[in-house]
């Protein structure tokens, strides 16, 4: 008989194969180490990353969790060694992030690891170093309570895997993204990310998701957020959603977790988008941070080697809960903030009508209408840009419904009555944005699109941005920019889109250009539209800008000239109408 051709693999080969499943790239190391820190009950978790031109050199995760005994520190690196489950039955209701007992073994198999750990009550800590999975030294050491794991020379012994790594910046981006996702799924813990000794972010860890979002993405992002409230009878879904900022259409801004475990799920991404209904433009993705609170017994977490995906016992139920929770948060918000500006909070009593009286609605404490000229200056310049040249009162191209402007609320909404007796509320920013966007499209490429700068503005760009500008030069030109290469990574801006910027302000010119190229990345077919959207958003009058009666009338007229659909380029409504039936309903007459 011939020798069998099948044989058992040796330990080392087995561990490399296992490692290949768990440790795809540097970000996978970070994921596993940070999850271990969370499972160890840490309250502060710090990640230090060092990179050079060739790759990520060192990953260090420091936690203040339980620490390990010297015996456990040894066992932790064995394959299938875990403190988190004992029997297969335990798999049915897992409440820790880890449970496979593979991560440390896998990471150690393909790198050089130093573990330093001490339990709070132990006098001494333990330090273990490993290389390619073999322990190279063990010693007692002084250490703060908790665990520090340092990983170097990742994939040094698996050249095939090393070859598949992408550029340093891509790998770093995955690491940052992973850390952001983790921080968002655990607002009760403080996360710090340090790259090359520079702090990239720190979250406060006080359990406030809003604060966490602000710590990660800044105050601008935190401002426009809409909170989700769990719905009765549905799986509880909590978190925040928001319309995309500016022209960001990135689907990577959707952060989903289930019981604090970050996951990827195409069906839940779709459910979130569905919750936005038609208010998102095609191809546009919202910002969302959601956590679904599901009974652990109804979630199977053991379906993916890196635990990135999970399976629900009822997929349908989870998808429905996400969609309806998002939907009802959005509609409730618009009811509170748009539909019923005063009626509910402040019943119309004695001088109630004054709310809709134009002379009153301009007034804010400390600001009287007579200050008009100064206050309205900038808005007026912005409004004029979008008016057809020459005729001050152009003949309507479409029959504009006669709208009588009554006044302005909070410097943001214009209140009017239509000739059909509807109460009409116009969001002045959304309306003007729509007007500018349409205008940009109609004047595409024509000379009125540009305003020549007296002195060209030199803008120094990063190498990447300079390349993007050159890539997008035609799109930028069609939007009104005239740009020339200036040598190195600088460009000279000779003309800018008519309207949005103050001509004498180089900082404004620069920031508009940067904003436009930031938004312009993406599929070629949409580039121009994205540039227009960004410019429109910048050019449009903002909320909180007090307008004169005449300015409001001009704006309303322009909006109707621009024609339907009456939504801003981002898909938000520019106009909300209340017919007599709606009003009767609001006042419970019917
Ligand atoms: P798993 O997390 O699936 O149990 P790991 O290989 O990631 O498997 O870790 C093995 C064991 O090592 C864990 O079960 C835990 O007991 C211990 N451990 C790992 N990291 C830490 C840490 N940061 N603090 C305390 N214990 C840890
Ligand atoms: Mg683990």
Establish how many alpha carbons lie within 13 A of residue 563's alpha carbon, considering only the half-sphere containing its beta carbon: 7
Please say whether the dihedral angle defined by the alpha carbons of residues 161, 256, 201 and 102, taken in this order, is positive or negative.
negative
Structural domain spans, the chain? 11-202, 224-336, 365-590
Ligand 1 mean position, distance from CA 415 (Å):
61
Ligand nearest to the CA of residue 83, numbered in listed order? 1
Q: Decide: 355 in ligand 1 pocket, CB within 6 A.
A: no
Nearest-angstrom CA–CA distance, 371 and 378:
13
Counts for the chain of helices (H) and strands (E), in that order: 19, 22
Per-residue pLDDT, 251 = 62
Per-residue pLDDT, 364 = 31
Q: Which atom of ligand 1 is nearest to the CA of 81?
A: 10
**pLDDT confidence band for 151 (50 / 70 / 90):** very high
Containing H/E element for 553? helix 549-562
**Structure tokens, 27:** 């970000």
Q: Decide: 146 in ligand 1 pocket, CB within 6 A.
A: no
Per-residue pLDDT, 519 = 74
Per-residue pLDDT, 538 = 82
Q: What is the pLDDT of residues 412-432, one digit of tens each?
A: 999 999 887 889 899 999 998
Residues 6+ apart with CB under 8 A from 396: 557, 560, 561
Per-residue pLDDT, 486 = 82
Q: Residue 457 pLDDT > 80, yes or no?
A: yes
Are the CB atoms for 431 and 574 separated by under 8 Å?
A: yes
Q: Decide: 184 in ligand 1 pocket, CB within 6 A.
A: no
Cα 26–chain centre separation: 23
Sheet holding 237-242: strands in order across?
226-228, 237-242, 287-292, 254-258, 261-263
Q: Residue 550 pLDDT > 80, yes or no?
A: yes
Does the domain spanning 365-590 belong to CATH 3.30.1370.100?
Answer: yes
Q: Decide: 306 in ligand 1 pocket, CB within 6 A.
A: no
Q: Which of 327-341, 369-383, 505-519, 540-554 has the lowest mean pLDDT?
A: 369-383
Q: Decide: 82 in ligand 1 pocket, CB within 6 A.
A: yes
Are the CB atoms for 191 and 175 separated by under 8 Å?
A: no
Nearest-angstrom CA–CA distance, 117 and 69:
8
Q: Which among 190, 209, 193 has a CA at the least distance from the CA of 201?
A: 193
Phi, psi dihedrals of residue 511, rounded to the nearest 5°: -70, -35
Nearest-angstrom CA–CA distance, 579 and 483:
49
Helix (H, G, I), strand (E, B) or coil at 214: helix
Q: Whose CA is nearest to atom 2 of ligand 1?
A: 98
Q: Name the class of domain 224-336.
A: alpha beta
Per-residue pLDDT, 564 = 67
More confident residue, 558 or 61: 61
Q: Decide: 126 in ligand 1 pocket, CB within 6 A.
A: no
Q: Decide: 75 in ligand 1 pocket, CB within 6 A.
A: no
Of 42, 70, 90, 104, the one to substitute when testing ligand 1's pocket (max ligand atoms within 8 A of C-beta) is 104
Per-residue pLDDT, 250 = 61
Q: Decide: 83 in ligand 1 pocket, CB within 6 A.
A: yes
**pLDDT confidence band for 371 (50 / 70 / 90):** very low
Q: Which atom of ligand 1 is nearest to the CA of 83?
A: 14
Taking the whole predicted model, whether its pTM rises above 0.85 is answered as no
Residues lying with their CB under 5 A of ligand 2, a single-atom ion = 36, 98, 103
Are the CB atoms for 439 and 455 separated by under 8 Å?
A: no
Q: What is the pLDDT of residues 471-486, one digit of tens each?
A: 778 888 888 888 888 8
Q: What is the pLDDT of residues 218-255, one digit of tens each?
A: 877 787 789 999 998 889 999 999 887 654 556 678 99
First CA to last CA distance, the chain: 93
Q: Which among 554, 256, 565, 171 has a CA at the least distance from the CA of 380?
A: 554
Per-residue pLDDT, 124 = 95
Per-residue pLDDT, 590 = 73
Which one of 308-312, 319-323, 581-585 scores highest in mean pLDDT? 319-323
| Secondary structure (H, E, C), 362-426 | CCECCECHHHHHHHHHHHHHHHHHCCCCCCCCCCCCCCCCCEEEEEEECCCEEEEEECCCCEEEE
Q: Decide: 63 in ligand 1 pocket, CB within 6 A.
A: yes
Q: With the CA atoms of 403, 408, 414 and 419 taken in that order, what torsion angle do they form, in degrees rounded to the nearest 10?
A: -20
Of 39, 114, 118, the one to substitute when testing ligand 1's pocket (max ligand atoms within 8 A of C-beta) is 39
Return the percentage of the chain with pLDDT > 70, whole number: 84
Per-residue pLDDT, 320 = 94
Residues 6+ apart with CB under 8 A from 293: 230, 235, 236, 237, 238, 259
Q: Are strands 423-427 and 413-418 parallel, antiparallel or unpaired?
A: antiparallel
**pLDDT confidence band for 108 (50 / 70 / 90):** very high
Per-residue pLDDT, 381 = 63
Residues 6+ apart with CB under 8 A from 230: 236, 237, 238, 293, 325
Q: What is the pLDDT of residues 327-336, one digit of tens each?
A: 988 887 544 4
Question: What mean pLDDT is reported for the chain?
Answer: 80
- The CATH number assigned to the domain with range 11-202 reads 3.30.565.10
Give residue for tokens 């720190």: 202
Per-residue pLDDT, 582 = 82
Ligand 2 mean position, distance from CA 87 (Å):
17
Q: Which among 60, 66, 33 has a CA at the least distance from the CA of 47?
A: 60
């Amino acid at each position: 008989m011939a020798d069998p051709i099948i044989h058992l693999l040796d330990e080392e080969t087995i561990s490399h194969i296992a490692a290949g499943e768990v440790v795809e790239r540097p970000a996978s190391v970070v994921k596993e180490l940070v999850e271990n820190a969370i499972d160890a009950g840490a309250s502060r978790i710090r990640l230090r990353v060092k990179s050079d031109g060739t790759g990520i050199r060192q990953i260090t995760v420091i936690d203040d969790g339980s620490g390990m005994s010297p015996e456990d520190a040894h066992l932790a690196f064995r394959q299938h060694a875990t403190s988190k489950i004992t029997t297969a039955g335990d798999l049915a209701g897992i409440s820790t992030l880890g449970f496979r007992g593979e991560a440390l073994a896998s990471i150690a198999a393909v790198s050089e690891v130093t573990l330093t750990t001490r339990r709070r009550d132990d006098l001494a800590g333990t330090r273990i170093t490993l290389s390619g999975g073999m322990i190279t030294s063990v010693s007692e050491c002084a250490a703060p309570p908790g665990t520090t794991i340092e990983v170097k020379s990742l994939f040094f012994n698996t050249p095939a895997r090393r070859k598949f790594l992408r550029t340093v910046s891509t790998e770093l981006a995955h690491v940052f993204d992973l850390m952001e996702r983790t921080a968002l799924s655990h607002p009760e813990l403080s996360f710090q990310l340090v790259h090359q000794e520079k702090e990239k972010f720190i979250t406060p860890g006080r359990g406030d998701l809003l604060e966490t979002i602000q710590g990660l993405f800044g105050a601008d992002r935190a401002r426009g957020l809409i909170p989700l409230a769990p719905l009765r009878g549905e799986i509880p879904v909590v978190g925040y959603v928001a319309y995309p900022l500016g022209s960001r259409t990135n689907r990577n801004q959707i952060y989903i977790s289930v019981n604090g475990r970050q996951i990827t799920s195409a069906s839940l991404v779709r459910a979130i988008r569905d919750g936005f209904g038609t208010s998102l433009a095609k191809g546009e993705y919202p910002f969302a941070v959601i956590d679904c609170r599901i009974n652990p017994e109804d979630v199977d977490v053991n379906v993916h080697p890196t635990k990135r995906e999970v399976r629900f016992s009822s997929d349908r139920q989870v998808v429905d809960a996400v969609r309806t929770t998002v939907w009802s948060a959005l509609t409730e918000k618009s009811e509170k903030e748009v539909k019923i500006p005063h009626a509910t909070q402040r019943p119309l009593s004695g001088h109630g009508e004054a709310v809709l009286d134009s002379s009153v609605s301009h007034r804010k404490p400390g600001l009287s209408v007579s200050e008009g000229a100064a206050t309205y200056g900038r808005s007026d310049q912005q409004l004029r840009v979008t008016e057809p040249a020459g005729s001050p009162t152009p003949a309507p191209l479409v029959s504009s419904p006669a709208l009588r402007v009554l006044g302005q609320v909070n410097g943001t909404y214009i209140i009017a009555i239509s000739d059909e007796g509807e109460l009409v509320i116009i969001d002045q920013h959304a309306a003007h944005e729509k007007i500018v966007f349409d205008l940009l499209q109609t004047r595409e490429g024509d000379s009125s699109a540009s305003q020549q700068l007296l002195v060209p503005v030199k803008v120094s760009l990063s190498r990447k941005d300079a390349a993007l500008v050159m890539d997008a030069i035609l799109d930028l030109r069609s939007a009104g920019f005239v740009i020339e290469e200036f040598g190195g990574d600088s460009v000279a801006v000779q003309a800018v889109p008519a309207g949005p910027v103050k001509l004498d302000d180089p900082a404004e010119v620069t920031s508009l250009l940067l904003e436009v190229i930031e938004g312009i990345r993406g599929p070629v077919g949409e580039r121009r539209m994205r540039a227009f959207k960004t410019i429109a958003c910048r050019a449009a009058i903002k909320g909180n800008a007090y307008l004169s009666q005449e300015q409001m009338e001009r704006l309303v007229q322009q909006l109707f000239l621009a024609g339907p659909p009456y939504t801003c380029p981002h898909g938000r409504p520019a106009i909300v109408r209340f017919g007599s039936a709606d009003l009767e309903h609001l006042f419970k007459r019917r």
